[in-house]
């Protein structure tokens, strides 16, 4: 079984109002797909067997969804649907 390795994009600082996830360990997300999501800083597996497409379908954030890497502390931007309340 071959896994696609997707390196997440990082930002120096999350946008104001960003939703931030700070996991105690990794992987922060687990699934049953053939894609691993890697920290954009150190390439630690943040999402094991989960695709970027699945994360975008399952998570919504008002501005930005960020996960902090427990190893290198990089701010990784996760794919998510923007959800704005009026």
Cβ contacts of residue 63 below 8 Å, gap of 6+? 15, 16, 17, 18, 19, 82
What is the predicted pLDDT for the residue at 63? 87
**What backbone torsions phi and psi does residue 3 show, to the nearest 5 degrees?**
-100, 140
83: pLDDT strictly greater than 80? no
Whole-model pTM: value is: 0.88
What is the predicted pLDDT for the residue at 40? 97
């Amino acid at each position: 079984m071959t896994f696609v390795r997707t390196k997440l994009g990082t930002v120096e600082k999350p946008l104001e109002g960003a939703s931030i996830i700070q996991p105690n360990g990794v992987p922060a997300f687990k699934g049953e797909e053939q894609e691993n999501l890697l920290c954009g800083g150190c390439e630690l597996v943040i999402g094991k067997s989960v695709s970027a497409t699945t994360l975008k379908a399952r998570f919504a954030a008002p501005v930005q969804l960020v996960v902090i890497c427990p190893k290198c502390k990089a701010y990784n931007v996760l794919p998510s649907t923007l959800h704005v309340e009026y």
